Chain A
Amino acid sequence: MRFINCKIATILLLHCVFFGGISGVSAQTETLLQGQVVDENGGGVSGVTIYLPKTKRTEKTNENGLFYFNAARGEYDLQVSKVGYARQQHKGSFGESKCPVFKLLKDSVVLHEVIVTATRTEKKMEDIPLPVTVIGKEEIQQKGMVRLNEVLAEQPGVVLVENHGTGIQLQGFDAKYTLILIDGEPVIGRSSGTLELSRISMANVDRVEILKGPSSSLYGSEAMAGVINIITKKATVGRKLASSVRYGTHNALDIGVDGSIAGRRTGVYTAFNRFSNGGYGYADETVGKTVAPFYGYTGHVNIDHQLTPKLDIRLGVKYNDEYAHDEYKTNTAVAQEMVSSKFLRRDLAFTPRIEYRFSDRHRSFFRVNQSLYKTDTRIHVMEDGRLYNHDFFDQKFSRLELQHDFKVNDKVYLTAGAGATDEWLKANRYDNKKEFKAGFGYLQADVKFSERLNVIAGGRFDMHKVYASQFSPKIAAQYKVLPWLRLNGSVGSAYKAPDFRELYLNWTNPTQGYSVFGAEDAADKLNRLIESGEIAEVLFDPDRIKTLDAERSWNYQGGVQLRPWKAMTIGANLFYNEVSNLIETFVLATKTNGKSVYTYSNQEHVVIKGIESNVSYTWRDIRIQVAGQYLRTANTTVQDAIAAGKGYYTRDAETGASRLVRPNEYGGLFNRSRYSGNMSMTYNCPKPGLVFTLRWAYRGRFGVRDIDGNGILNLDEEYAPGYSMFNASIVKSLYKDRLRCTLSAENLGNIKRTGVATMPGRLFFTGISYRIIN
């Protein structure tokens, strides 16, 4: 059928050329060319979007999967995309009698994906010499996930951790060392370094790209453990409208609508989401819950417009609001009062972008990011309505950035950029408005030395008003030993800038009475306390408090990727991180009330190393992925002291007498599991249109406490036992995949833990999504 169609079309085409083609000179070069898109079974697929970068035009396939365009015959690159299928890059040779056929593959089976996070340019995933993972929207939907934390919880090398919000530990690094981006722009609003991941809805997300390893050479501060880049959906030609609802345990309700409308030059994508949760507790509290009831909204608009064939503009607007309300008893010794607390979190980001293509070889991007973030908590006494406490936090982030890509030739690709950042913060724990101004520039060269060897080298220079300038270099290489065997290696350095808290915090705990001051103002603040007679003893000369330096890491990675059969991939990656200048608190003085005054300084040196490996195998309609991570961490200052036989003591279990901690007893950093692993199984049952998934995430024991008072992890009793989390889902597709019904469950084992990660026990969800206009 396909060939017949193709032939008929070709004849028609020839007719066109013959009869109509003499009208102008251009007709000799421009003809109506055609191609066809088929699915895995060879049938034509309609409604596929074809984008031709060379002509800057977008076409759609007809009911037979055919598409046409006017251009000179020859070789063309094209991007093929359709919902439910993987976006792919193809090359086709078009001519009067040539009708190239392109095969569309379901989202989940494609490995030739293009990602942007690793190099800031589009690059095939398999060509990237760094550990990268992509989670597509199809996978997210199949697993019934609606928030970023749910998606990341199942990724190898990732552990969800709870510290002023839900964050991730990536390859053994704390949450503050992973940069979180939406469409390449940083998300602001961290609390004690943690960016609350449940803030980010998956409703408007096309894919999530995870890049492991330091990436300060492109992104600057924070990208020490890696980068998570959330790529949102964009408008594709035509109209689309879809809605979804998910409801589950704790009255968790998530409602979403998204749609797009696009012509040849202009496209608008919008998404709206509302989610709410009735709150929950770990115990049967009578008043107040561990997590108070909350609700929130996310709105997102992406507008694309092609001003001229060379000039594109795009505007992204993202809005997120969250409200929580709680009532509980205050916990002071004086009097117990019922209070009501109202919490607001607001997040707003404007991200306009201009892309100008000078030629096939040169293009520039100009990006603007204007982000606002605020939280506001007001606690009132219920009896008389008096304000008990008011906590606020306002942050603004502005960035201008210019990036230029230069394709020198087929082998060399250069990317350079420069920009400026202005950031300020106002909060009740800070004296007044605090501002950061910074500038940066970066350069990256992607060089293909041969078909086998690809090297990417680059570096970034960051200048800052407060701390010393930072240079972060990185080099990565890939060698294709055999078509099915690739070796990757990289060396890079990354940094984490001292944050507002570490520099400027001015906080005295009202109930405990201790004080914490940022390093910049600590001497001044201490002198004021001395003058007012609140200091009993000064333990550290305030004149010797040093200006904080950025935390700095060096990372070495080496990996191997194998694909012995088409259905199987095996990968392993070794990583070694040396982190110096870690910022920690230390005691500056003691107060007359017996409490301490703390400030920050660069102290600790840490080593984080490990190996991560993964195997994925597809057999018929079943796909199985298994991954594991072995991790070792150590504070080298502690480790050296233990090796030298000083500084760290414990008690003998028998006699109770003190003794030195032995080197093999030292367990490294707290909250790190030496062993962790994941398994995911997807069964795509085509006949009744069902997809089953079953996932398992394991984390081995991890240090949580210090019993013997030496401040380090060295006793078995200081560990929390490991645990397994089981999640599952069933998706039923109806009406040609227009309607999807989902049943999903999280934490089937009903594990409840506090303080480690939010685990409110077993959760069930049911959801429906419907494509109103396809």
Chain B
Amino acid sequence: MVKNHIFQKVSLFAISMGLLFSSCSKDDRELDETASKQEVVTVKDLNGLDKGGVYFSLEKNRETEESAIDWDIKITGTTIGFGNGAVGQLVEGVLDSYHTAPTEGYSNSGITGNNTYYVNTLYNAPQHAILMKPGVLILVKTSKGNYVKMEMLSYYKGNPNVKTPDFADIPTRGEKWPKQHYTFNYVLQSNGMNKF
């Protein structure tokens, strides 16, 4: 009998929790609708090869000079740096379904190293390639304090299909698809809120 009582209580609690959560998700859905209004910006083949690096303003969606005071990120090789007060961090998620950015945890120290947002395949085929890790988002708080979620897509010009034998051929890879040409998607929440 006692057990039964507990069971009832637990199930009541579960039901009420369920109600609570389902109501929460309703709110989320509403948020989704607002999120869908934000535009996904696609940047294709941003050239970081010729000058050894590239500076980019997420707010203005354009490449800048190093001396400019409005760049948010700089990409040199496989390192993503932040400048002019912008900060960033890596999180797990998919661009479409990532809705709430954390308010803490950002840093201006830059993101570098194998297995962060990219993978160096080393001796695994396709060998010695830099591939962008799926499910990794870079969150940036711009110099203006706006939140950006971005996903790196490719390190090679033309965003090639990395699964082909052509791409695996190292001697010709560099000619066909020069490296350090960055392709990425991002979404900017320009109202300063951490909800997308």
A residues sitting closer than 8 Å to B (CB atoms) are 590, 594, 646-651, 653, 656-660, 704-710, 715, 717
**A657→B151 CA distance, assembly (Å):** 8
Q: What are 16 of the A-B contact pairs (CB < 8 Å)?
A: A594-B113, A646-B92, A649-B135, A649-B136, A658-B95, A658-B151, A659-B94, A660-B135, A705-B125, A707-B121, A707-B125, A707-B126, A707-B163, A708-B131, A709-B119, A709-B132
Interface presence of B49 (CB below 8 A): no
Verify B185–A657 contact, CB threshold 8 A: yes
Q: Tell me the nearest residue of chain B to A648, going by C-beta.
A: B135
The 6 closest A-B pairs by CB, nearest first: A649-B135, A709-B119, A649-B134, A709-B133, A717-B163, A658-B134
B residues sitting closer than 8 Å to A (CB atoms) are 92, 94-96, 112-113, 115, 118-119, 121, 124-126, 131-136, 151, 153-154, 159, 161-163, 183, 185
Verify B134–A709 contact, CB threshold 8 A: yes
Q: Contacts A650-B134, A709-B119, A710-B135 given; indicate if A715 touches B163 (C-beta within 8 A).
A: yes
Verify A590–B113 contact, CB threshold 8 A: yes
Verify B94–A658 contact, CB threshold 8 A: yes
Verify B124–A705 contact, CB threshold 8 A: yes
**A650→B134 CA distance, assembly (Å):** 5
Name the B residues within 8 Å of A656 (CB-CB). Answer: 153-154, 159, 183
**A715→B125 CA distance, assembly (Å):** 13
Distance to closest chain B CB from A666 (angstroms)? 14
Q: Tell me the nearest residue of chain A to B114, going by C-beta.
A: A594
Q: Tell me the nearest residue of chain A to B152, going by C-beta.
A: A658
Partner of A710, one of B134, B151, B153: B134
Name the A residues within 8 Å of B119 (CB-CB). Answer: 709
**A709→B92 CA distance, assembly (Å):** 13
Name the A residues within 8 Å of B115 (CB-CB). Answer: 709
**A646→B94 CA distance, assembly (Å):** 10
**A660→B185 CA distance, assembly (Å):** 17
Verify A649–B163 contact, CB threshold 8 A: no
Verify A660–B94 contact, CB threshold 8 A: yes
Q: A647-B92, A649-B134 are in contact. List 6 more A-B contacts (CB 8 A).
A: A647-B135, A649-B133, A656-B159, A658-B151, A707-B126, A710-B133
Distance to closest chain B CB from A715 (angstroms)? 7
Q: Tell me the nearest residue of chain B to A658, going by C-beta.
A: B134
Verify B94–A706 contact, CB threshold 8 A: no
Name the B residues within 8 Å of A704 (CB-CB). Answer: 125
Verify A707–B134 contact, CB threshold 8 A: no
Name the B residues within 8 Å of A649 (CB-CB). Answer: 94, 133-136
**A707→B134 CA distance, assembly (Å):** 10
**A290→B146 CA distance, assembly (Å):** 56
Verify B126–A708 contact, CB threshold 8 A: no
**A653→B119 CA distance, assembly (Å):** 18
Q: Tell me the nearest residue of chain A to B153, going by C-beta.
A: A656
**A594→B163 CA distance, assembly (Å):** 28
**A709→B95 CA distance, assembly (Å):** 17
Name the A residues within 8 Å of B95 (CB-CB). Answer: 657-658
Name the A residues within 8 Å of B136 (CB-CB). Answer: 649, 658
Partner of A707, one of B96, B162, B183: B162
Name the A residues within 8 Å of B125 (CB-CB). Answer: 704-705, 707
Distance to closest chain A CB from B132 (angstroms)? 7
**A705→B159 CA distance, assembly (Å):** 21
Name the A residues within 8 Å of B124 (CB-CB). Answer: 705-707
Verify A651–B92 contact, CB threshold 8 A: no
Name the A residues within 8 Å of B133 (CB-CB). Answer: 649, 708-710
**A715→B164 CA distance, assembly (Å):** 12
Verify B131–A709 contact, CB threshold 8 A: yes
Name the B residues within 8 Å of A659 (CB-CB). Answer: 94, 134
Distance to closest chain A CB from B165 (angstroms)? 10
Name the B residues within 8 Å of A590 (CB-CB). Answer: 113
Name the B residues within 8 Å of A660 (CB-CB). Answer: 94, 135
